[in-house]
């Protein structure tokens, strides 16, 4: 066996263990009996440590060193060495015992969060959050950083991004969004939404979610749709990318747009070539780029008039009481802008303001400027100052998101970057495909999906995010396209 063959075989072994871990994680958040969480935590800890030890083994380091000095490697193989080598260097700094303890604690933390959210009981979750913050601090110090510990964690999700760069993006974005929101509320005419009020059967909503996934091209032969507390998409292995969703009887659009969001993630995973898998680069370019795919299908497509001219038929087929509503009415109703408490239900104008709040809070938690027990009050004060609304319970405030329970600090900015990337990519797709919107109106996702497959999906992790966006759109990532997109759409919907 030559060096490259041994390298790919080692990566394949790691991938197979991680596949088992993913399956157990999916089960933990969808099907597992409540009393099974403790045992599952130990199992996941053991398996995760096995994969971790292989991924940080001296042998993998030696193979990386040998291959870096070799001539004649293909661009894809060189990309593998860059990505795998970067992850190796980061994770090699973490002792295996620490990683196993973190994995076990994370599973317990997520389980505790589910119960705490259900009961709106932050004190029961507080010790777990403190533990996750402590792990994050340890990891940041082990990874190393130049400016702030937050940067060390951010690198895991968005290579090359820093807190300082994020602030340079956030300030002009905030300066555009806050006046736009105020202009819409003060001077515009909000769309009629009363026809979406009422009780909508959850089993019927599941049917609608499945039809929405089919409408955007999700391959059910290579996936499935299940219920969960907080929606997520997870790749189990080749030909197996699963979507999960949640539903509210009084919010019929919630489950629909959540399905489109998770479906966007799944389309990305389903479009990455299997041949990248043995090289360890069969994933999205970054979490921000991954979020660009979910936000693009959820918003640029799902909240567009062409989509509703097609999907109205499915909507009224599942909910006949809505038969009197036109595609134009559905379109307008899905594009209201108003301050709200829940991030995942937020409209496109206010969504990034939710992310900005989380960005500031998690930095304060990590630095110690904000004590864990003070987080609920800080959240209430922050959302009140940002959007003028205030939660009456912690389930609608500090407990609403799963990410901190899983130790995923510095993940939230990926959502904001995803929105910006999505607008820039969609503007390019429209420019290069004059029949794009007419194909969506006809219920054919292949024009847009084919373009994304060619320009984004097939590359996996070959390119880092900034390089990928520049290659596809011809310019560096910028908030300009997102601001223009929102201003144009919402001004028209609100009659301004």
Entry pTM: 0.93
Q: Residues of 195-217 as b/e, b for ≥16 C-beta within 10 angstroms? A: ebeeebeeeebbebbbbbbebbb
Q: How confident is the model at residue 73 (pLDDT cuts 50, 70, 90)?
A: very high
Q: If you average pLDDT over residues 481-490, what whole number do you get?
A: 97
Structure confidence at residue 344 (pLDDT): 86
Structure confidence at residue 290 (pLDDT): 97
Structure confidence at residue 230 (pLDDT): 84
In this structure, are residues 332 and 495 in contact, taking their beta carbons and an 8 Å threshold?
Answer: no
Contacts of 168 (CB under 8 A, 6+ apart): none
Active-site position among 110, 114, 158, 262: 262
CA angle at residue 109 from 13 to 354, to 5 degrees?
100
Q: How confident is the model at residue 71 (pLDDT cuts 50, 70, 90)?
A: confident
- Alpha-carbon distance of 449 to 217, in angstroms, equals 8
Is 118 an active-site residue?
A: no
Contacts of 66 (CB under 8 A, 6+ apart): 3
Please write the tens of the pLDDT for every residue from 97-150: 999 999 999 999 999 999 999 999 999 999 999 999 999 999 999 999 998 999
Please write the tens of the pLDDT for every residue from 279-331: 999 999 999 999 999 999 999 999 999 999 999 999 999 999 999 999 999 99
* 34, pLDDT greater than 90: no
* 1, pLDDT greater than 80: no
Please write the tens of the pLDDT for every residue from 447-467: 999 999 999 999 999 999 999
- Alpha-carbon distance of 493 to 331, in angstroms, equals 9
Q: Which fold has domain 163-493?
A: 1.10.1370
Domain segments of the chain: what residues? 3-125, 163-493
Please write the tens of the pLDDT for every residue from 194-217: 999 999 999 999 999 999 999 999
Q: If you average pLDDT over residues 30-39, what whole number do you get?
A: 92
- Alpha-carbon distance of 82 to 59, in angstroms, equals 17
- Alpha-carbon distance of 159 to 464, in angstroms, equals 7
In this structure, are residues 223 and 243 in contact, taking their beta carbons and an 8 Å threshold?
Answer: yes
Q: If you average pLDDT over residues 219-245, what whole number do you get?
A: 96
Structure confidence at residue 425 (pLDDT): 98
- Alpha-carbon distance of 470 to 449, in angstroms, equals 19
Please write the tens of the pLDDT for every residue from 329-359: 999 999 999 999 999 889 999 999 999 999 9
Percent of the chain whose pLDDT exceeds 70: 100
* 90, pLDDT greater than 80: yes
Q: In what order do the strands lie in the sheet with 233-237?
A: 225-227, 240-245, 233-237
CA atoms within 13 A on the CB side of 300: 29
Please write the tens of the pLDDT for every residue from 382-428: 999 999 999 999 999 999 999 999 999 999 999 999 999 999 999 99
DSSP single-letter state for residue 301: I
* 229, pLDDT greater than 90: no
Percent of the chain whose pLDDT exceeds 90: 96
């Amino acid at each position: 066996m030559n060096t490259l063959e041994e390298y790919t075989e080692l990566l394949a072994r790691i991938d197979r263990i991680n596949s088992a871990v993913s399956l157990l994680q999916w089960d933990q958040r969808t099907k597992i009996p409540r009393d099974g969480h403790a045992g599952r935590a130990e199992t996941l800890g053991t398996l995760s440590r096995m994969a971790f030890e292989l991924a940080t083994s001296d042998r993998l380091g030696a193979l990386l060193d040998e291959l870096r000095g070799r001539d004649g490697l293909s661009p894809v193989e060189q990309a593998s060495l860059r990505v795998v080598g970067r992850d190796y260097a980061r994770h090699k700094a973490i002792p295996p015992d620490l990683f196993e303890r973190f994995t076990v604690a994370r599973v317990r933390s997520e389980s505790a969060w589910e119960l705490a959210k259900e009961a709106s009981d932050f004190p029961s979750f507080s010790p777990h959050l403190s533990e996750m913050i402590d792990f994050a601090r340890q990891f940041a110090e082990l990874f190393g950083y130049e400016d702030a510990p937050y940067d060390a964690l951010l690198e895991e999700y968005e290579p090359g991004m820093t807190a300082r760069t994020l602030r340079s993006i956030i300030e002009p974005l905030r300066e555009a969004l806050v006046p736009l929101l105020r202009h819409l509320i003060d001077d515009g005419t909000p769309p009629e939404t009363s026809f979406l009020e009422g009780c909508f059967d959850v089993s019927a909503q599941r049917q609608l979610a499945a039809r929405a996934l089919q409408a955007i091209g999700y391959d059910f032969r290579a996936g499935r749709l299940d219920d969960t507390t907080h929606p997520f998409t997870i790749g189990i292995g080749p030909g197996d990318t699963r979507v999960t969703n949640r539903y509210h009887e009084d919010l019929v659009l919630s489950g629909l747009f959540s399905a489109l969001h998770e479906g966007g993630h799944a389309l990305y995973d389903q479009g990455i070539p299997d041949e990248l898998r043995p090289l360890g680069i069969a994933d999205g370019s970054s979490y921000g780029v991954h979020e660009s795919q979910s936000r693009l299908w959820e918003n640029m497509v799902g909240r567009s008039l062409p989509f509703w001219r097609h999907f109205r038929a499915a909507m009224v087929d599942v909910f006949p009481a809505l038969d009197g509503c036109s595609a134009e009415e559905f379109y307008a109703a899905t594009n209201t802008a108003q301050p709200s408490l829940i991030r995942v239900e937020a409209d496109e104008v206010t969504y990034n303001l939710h992310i900005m709040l989380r960005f500031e809070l998690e930095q304060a938690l990590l630095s110690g400027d904000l004590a864990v027990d003070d987080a609920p009050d800080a959240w209430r004060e922050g959302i009140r100052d940002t959007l003028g609304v205030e939660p009456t319970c912690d389930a609608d405030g500090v407990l609403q998101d799963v990410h901190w329970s899983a130790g995923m600090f510095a993940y939230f900015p990926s959502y904001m970057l995803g929105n910006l990337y999505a607008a820039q990519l969609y503007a390019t797709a429209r420019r290069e495909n004059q029949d794009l919107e007419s194909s969506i109106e006809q219920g054919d996702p292949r024009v847009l999906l084919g373009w994304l497959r060619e320009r984004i999906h097939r590359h996996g992790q070959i390119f880092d995010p900034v390089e990928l966006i520049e290659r596809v759109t011809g310019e560096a990532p910028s908030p300009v396209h997102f601001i223009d997109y929102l201003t144009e759409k919402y001004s028209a919907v609100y009659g301004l």
